[in-house]
């Protein structure tokens, strides 16, 4: 049936070959022009699964304000210059950072007197101190306890930092607000940086470094804006005095660097692959017309790029980076056709190999088609790009290519290959050697690791990473904390939910480990209740009682009569729950880190150490409270890992069923089908063994590339067995050799890529294809001879 | 016209005068810093007189200060209460006779205390050019040298300090007296006696008893 329909289509094209040629040439020219207008994307999100937890974290990170900031780190590189000169340079730079891309530049905390700011914040104590805490004060309202407090206050005032403590002691002789100060300290430490504020600027402890925070509207995912921002900042940094070193710390630097690296990789790998393809074709076939094998897949890939761009809008650089591999895969059909024609000396050989070529293409396509069932959008792009390329290439080879040979000088006939080469080495030696190698490699494979951390796909230049490490070292920034996110329609609902979560979480996590905004500013309901209790507590007897006790005992500690008047003056100042410390710079800065507003509503973040036990507990807790979730780097990695594992199992099973089914259809024999799997098994074991031997962890990109390997290697086995079975004289061995070589060249070129995704794919393909190819040329013929041929002869 | 030229000349002379005085002050600060930078260890007795509105009567403290470069600093008070504070790098250890307990603090985790301690270290160690951004500095005495530091209007110190006077010893190798006038008119005078420079310091002075 296949032959019948193929003949009809082939004859039709043959009758309209001029029109067909014009259509193909026009398509290729138009598509080449079209590539100039394609938009490219280097967003790693495309390569991540859209699993629930992963999606939630990604959406949060996209909507949060973390990605709209860049930090400019400035440092003195000369001991001759002073902090004053550093601050002056920072101020001058702030003045120059005028661009539509820059919304705000902060160099420190305005208002800048932390002591005054803290004192102002402490005036809100009536709203902040819970009734049970305040009730403890009752036990202090007696002579013994007051004397203890006064003695302690006196001693503190005589210490070197006494003058700084004085306003706090005057405003709080009983130390009622100590808990609030502790909370403030804990929250400030959760800011993650060890900085001092001097002259209103953020400074490192050694005062030799400062930094500016730049708020930008340049989105990380918008490569053009990110580059514009980075270039603008770099231009301005060049104007700094020579004694200032400057670095930009921003996600935008990673985006730009990754794009540059992947672009260079594409140029480098494509260049290497093209030169190698040309060399192989010309050296192997010694016929200039063999260049058509390069032009056909190239044309197919160019058209496929346009098709993919039309469907997806933007094309991922990672997918285009695999272009050389796709060319290496797609050119196989042309090679088989060319070798068949030249080996047999007749164009009719195309008809003989049309069916196995189509089935081979179908098996490869079926592997790529399974990617459409993946939740990873990047794989959809890869699938469409690869499938379009393969189909177009196959059509060109089967329908257009034969006509190119017409009226041409018959090329020098290549001696026909022996269909089933006689083994020089005994078949059983091949088989046992293969089993031994597979066992050894399988032994190594057990030691293989899987790395699910997405940061491994960050190919940013070493300078960027070094600058970040240095920044973290200078400002004492440790491991990034995980976040517990509470969201609600309005701020007070969010505050209420956040408070509830904190009260439930801290007994397990520990107060010292959970930095919650509720420590600094509880919900309106709680503040109202606190303030009400405060009023009731002090008004009347207790206020007078304390005044009397202080009057009676203060003098023996040398305290003046009005020493503690500030406490009584401020006693009821912060009791109105409608008032908030929003005008305090210190409070505003902290609030900005903990509270975010987005299009949907409000989100409050709490920070905790990114430890498995904390994350697991909070994930469980957050499931019970709607609108809350955990964002953790480790949990994110785990969610990706779990999701990818599920994807890979599903896709592998799907691909295995499809490949087996198609192979069985072509070979129509169970034994032959099982033998054809030898190349697949060899390829998979080679991949896992190679990664393990080199100490490289497998990753998502490698797993997906492995599936491509399966699709390609099954072809090698199928071609060999098909030609054995049908005793074809179509130069199958040579065709497989050249097509495997070209695919390997495409894959090998990726080993020169600096981007880890492309390198992983390259290593997987090289290891897998080598294993699959070698076994198809040695073990499969041996197995055929031992299990099929001999038994047939016996019969 | 003549009046205008006269005014211009006066203006220019005034400007030059200011500029000349500033340069001289800077040169003097650099010179003093140079001398103080030669101090690798310091051991000195002190008497501190504090007049604070919070206290009914002035308080007089007596004790010792120890400094050893690069990062050791100790403050021992003997009267009226025994108190010891030792700073090493980021860590502060304190002990007082009242609690008889040692308290360890990290400067990084106590920003307010850190500001106080850093200010104190600057006055004691004499790296005054780092204060140029925050303070106006005037030379108000030559023999002995007395420097007056007045916080600039927008400097954080302006909300706390009115001025700080530093009086140097006659040989200018170290400080003789520090006088601080705070915004609320509280004053602190710290006089140093029996100052020993670059002598080995007994390691026990860095320990808390």
CB A671 within 8 A of CB A792: no
- pLDDT at position A768 is 92
Cα separations in angstroms, B136 against A88, A116, A593 = 16, 22, 36
To the nearest whole Å, the CA of A221 is away from the closest chain B CA by: 36
Enter the ipTM. 0.81
Q: For residue A49, what are its two tokens?
A: 């699964």
> Would you state the pLDDT for residue B14?
35
Over 60: is that where the pLDDT of B20 sits? no
Closest CA to A364 of A713, A717, A774, A767: A713
What pLDDT was estimated at residue A409?
A: 42
Cα separation of A429 and A434, whole Å?
Answer: 8
Are A82 and B160 within 8 A, CB to CB?
no
Instruction: Please answer yes or no on whether A558 and B55 come within 8 Å at the CB atom.
Output: yes
| B154 CA to centre of own chain | 20
Which residue in B52, B90, B116 is closest to A161 by CB distance?
B116
Query: How far is A564 from chain B, CA to nearest CA, in Å?
Result: 8
H helix intervals, B97-209: 111-125
pLDDT score for A56: 66
Q: A314 forms bridges with which residues in the sheet?
A: A39
Residue of B nearest to A151 (CA): B98
Provide the pLDDT confidence category of residue B171 given band limits of 50, 70 and 90. confident
Q: Measure in Å the smallest separation between the Cα of B5 and chain A Cα atoms.
A: 35
Q: Which residue of A has its CA nearest to B186?
A: A163
Chain A residue nearest residue B113, CA to CA: A161
Q: Do A113 and B111 touch (CB under 8 A)?
A: no
Using a cut of 0.95, tell me whether the model's pTM lies above it. no
pLDDT (average), residues B80-91? 85
- Other Cβ atoms within 10 Å of A282 Cβ, number: 13
Nearest CA among A790, A792, A785, A793 for reference residue A675: A785
Q: Which residue, among B112, B131, B164, B190, would best test binding to A if mutated, counting the most A CBs under 10 Å from its CB? A: B112
Dmax over CA atoms of chain A, in Å, equals 121
Counted residue by residue, chain B has a size of 209
A197 contacts B111? CB cut-off 8 A: yes
Q: Give one DSSP letter per residue of A373-424, joined into a string.
A: GSS-HHHHHHHHHHHHHHHHHHHIIIIIHHHHTTTSPPPPPPPPPPSSPPPS
B164 neighbors B148 (Cβ within 8 angstroms): yes
Q: Look at A196 and B110 and tell me if their CB atoms are within 8 Å.
A: no
pLDDT for A231: 93
Q: Which of A166, A199, A560 sits opposite B133 (nearest CB)?
A: A199
- State the smallest CA–CA distance between residue A164 and chain B in angstroms: 7
Q: pLDDT at position A303, please? A: 92
Q: What are the helix (H) ranges across A554-695?
A: 565-569, 585-594, 612-624, 633-667, 670-693
Pairwise CB contact (< 8 Å): B85 & A188: no
Query: For each successive 10 residues of chain A (795 residues), what is the average pLDDT?
Result: 77 82 89 87 71 66 68 87 81 87 79 71 91 87 89 86 82 86 75 66 83 85 83 92 90 85 83 80 74 81 91 84 78 79 74 80 83 83 91 87 57 44 70 89 83 73 86 77 88 91 89 87 93 90 89 89 89 88 84 83 88 88 86 76 74 75 75 84 90 86 82 80 73 74 82 85 91 88 80 57
* Interchain proximity B83–A163, CB inside 8 Å: no
pLDDT value at position A268? 84
Q: Does B96 contact A188 at a Cβ distance shorter than 8 Å?
A: no
ω into A795 cis (within 30 of 0): no
With CB atoms and an 8 Å threshold, state whether B55 touches A194: no
Chain A residue nearest residue B155, CA to CA: A199
């Amino acid at each position: 049936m296949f032959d019948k329909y193929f003949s009809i289509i082939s004859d039709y094209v043959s009758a309209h070959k001029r029109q067909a040629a014009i259509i193909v040439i026009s398509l290729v020219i138009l598509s080449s022009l079209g590539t100039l207008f394609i938009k490219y994307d280097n967003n790693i999100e495309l390569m991540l699964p859209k699993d629930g937890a992963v999606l939630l974290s990604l959406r949060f990170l996209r909507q949060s304000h973390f990605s709209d900031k860049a930090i400019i780190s400035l440092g003195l590189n000369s001991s001759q210059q002073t902090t004053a000169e550093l601050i002056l340079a920072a101020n001058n730079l702030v003045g120059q950072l005028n661009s539509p891309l820059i919304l705000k530049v902060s160099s420190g905390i305005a208002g800048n007197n932390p002591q005054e700011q803290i004192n102002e914040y402490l005036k809100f104590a009536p709203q902040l101190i819970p009734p049970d805490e305040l009730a403890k004060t009752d036990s202090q309202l007696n002579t013994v306890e007051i004397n203890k407090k006064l003695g302690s206050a006196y001693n503190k005032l005589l210490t070197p930092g006494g003058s700084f403590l004085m306003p706090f002691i005057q405003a709080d002789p009983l130390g009622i607000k100590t808990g609030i100060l502790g909370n403030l300290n804990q929250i400030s430490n959760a800011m993650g940086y060890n900085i001092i504020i001097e002259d209103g600027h953020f400074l490192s402890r050694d005062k030799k470094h400062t930094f500016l925070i730049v708020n930008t509207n340049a989105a990380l995912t918008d490569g053009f804006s990110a580059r514009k921002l980075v270039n603008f900042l770099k231009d301005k940094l060049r104007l700094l005095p020579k004694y200032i070193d400057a670095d930009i710390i921003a996600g935008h630097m990673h985006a730009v660097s990754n794009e540059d690296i992947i672009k260079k990789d594409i140029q480098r790998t494509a260049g290497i692959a093209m030169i190698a393809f040309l060399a192989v074709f010309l050296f192997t076939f010694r016929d200039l017309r063999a260049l058509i094998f390069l032009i056909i897949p190239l044309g197919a890939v160019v058209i496929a790029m346009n098709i993919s761009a039309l469907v997806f809008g933007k094309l991922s650089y990672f997918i285009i980076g695999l272009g050389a591999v796709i060319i290496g895969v797609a050119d196989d059909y042309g090679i088989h056709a060319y070798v068949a024609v030249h080996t047999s000396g007749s164009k009719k050989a195309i008809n003989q190999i049309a069916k196995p070529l189509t089935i081979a293409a179908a098996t490869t396509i079926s592997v790529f088609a399974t990617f459409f069932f993946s939740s990873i959008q990047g794989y959809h792009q890869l699938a469409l790009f690869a499938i379009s390329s393969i189909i177009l290439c196959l059509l060109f080879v089967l329908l257009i290519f034969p006509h190119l040979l017409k009226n041409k000088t018959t090329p020098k006939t290549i001696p026909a290959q022996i269909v089933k080469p006689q083994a020089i080495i005994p078949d059983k030696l091949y088989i046992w050697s293969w089993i031994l190698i597979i066992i050894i490699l399988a032994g190594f494979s057990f030691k293989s690791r899987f790395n699910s951390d997405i940061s491994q796909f960050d190919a940013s230049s070493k300078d960027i990473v070094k600058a970040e490490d240095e920044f973290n070292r200078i400002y004492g920034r440790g491991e990034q904390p995980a976040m517990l996110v509470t969201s609600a329609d309005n701020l007070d609902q969010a505050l209420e939910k956040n408070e509830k979560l904190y009260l439930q979480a801290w007994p397990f996590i520990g107060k010292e480990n959970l930095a919650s905004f509720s420590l600094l500013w509880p919900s309106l309901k709680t503040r109202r209740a606190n303030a009400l209790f405060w009023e009731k507590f002090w008004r009347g007897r207790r206020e007078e009682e304390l005044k009397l006790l202080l009057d009676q005992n203060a003098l023996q500690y040398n305290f003046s009569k009005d020493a503690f008047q500030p406490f009584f003056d401020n006693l009821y100042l912060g009791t109105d729950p409608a008032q908030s410390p929003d005008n305090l710079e210190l409070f505003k800065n902290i609030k900005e880190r903990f509270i975010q507003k987005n299009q949907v509503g409000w989100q409050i973040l709490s920070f905790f150490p990114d430890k498995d036990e904390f994350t697991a507990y909070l994930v469980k807790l957050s499931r019970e409270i709607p609108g809350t979730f955990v964002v953790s780097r480790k949990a994110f990695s785990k969610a990706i890992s779990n999701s990818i594992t599920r994807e890979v199992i599903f896709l592998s099973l799907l691909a295995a069923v499809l490949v087996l089914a198609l192979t069985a259809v072509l070979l129509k024999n169970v034994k032959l089908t099982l033998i054809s799997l030898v190349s697949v098994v060899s390829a998979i074991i080679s991949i896992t063994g190679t990664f393990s031997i080199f100490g490289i962890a497998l990753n998502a990109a490698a797993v997906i590339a492995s599936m491509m390997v399966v699709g390609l290697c099954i072809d090698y086995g199928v071609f060999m067995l098909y030609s054995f079975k049908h005793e074809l004289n179509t130069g199958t061995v040579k065709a497989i050799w050249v097509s495997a070589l070209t695919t390997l060249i495409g894959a090998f070129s990726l080993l020169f890529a600096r981007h880890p995704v492309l390198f992983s794919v390259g290593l997987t393909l090289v290891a897998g294809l080598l294993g699959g190819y070698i076994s198809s040329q040695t073990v499969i013929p041996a197995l055929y001879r031992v299990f099929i041929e001999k038994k047939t002869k016996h019969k | 016209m003549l009046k205008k030229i006269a005014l211009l000349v006066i203006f220019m002379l005034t400007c030059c005068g200011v500029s000349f005085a500033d340069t001289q002050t800077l040169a003097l600060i650099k010179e003093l810093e140079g001398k103080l930078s030669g101090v690798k260890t310091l051991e000195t007795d002190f008497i501190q007189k504090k007049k604070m509105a919070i206290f009914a009567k002035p308080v007089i403290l007596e004790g010792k200060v120890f400094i050893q470069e690069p990062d050791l600093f100790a403050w021992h008070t003997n009267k009226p209460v025994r108190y010891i504070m030792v700073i090493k790098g980021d860590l502060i250890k304190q002990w007082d006779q009242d609690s008889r307990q040692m308290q360890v603090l990290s400067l990084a985790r106590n920003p307010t205390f850190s500001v106080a301690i850093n200010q104190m270290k600057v006055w004691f160690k004499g790296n005054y050019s780092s204060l140029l951004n925050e303070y106006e500095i005037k030379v108000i005495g030559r023999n002995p040298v007395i420097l007056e530091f007045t916080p600039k209007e927008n400097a954080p110190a302006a909300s706390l300090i009115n001025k700080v006077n530093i009086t140097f010893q006659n040989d200018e190798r170290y400080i003789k007296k520090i006088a601080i006038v705070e915004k609320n008119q509280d004053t602190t005078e710290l006089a140093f006696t029996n100052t020993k420079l670059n002598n080995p310091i007994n390691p026990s002075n860095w320990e808390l008893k």
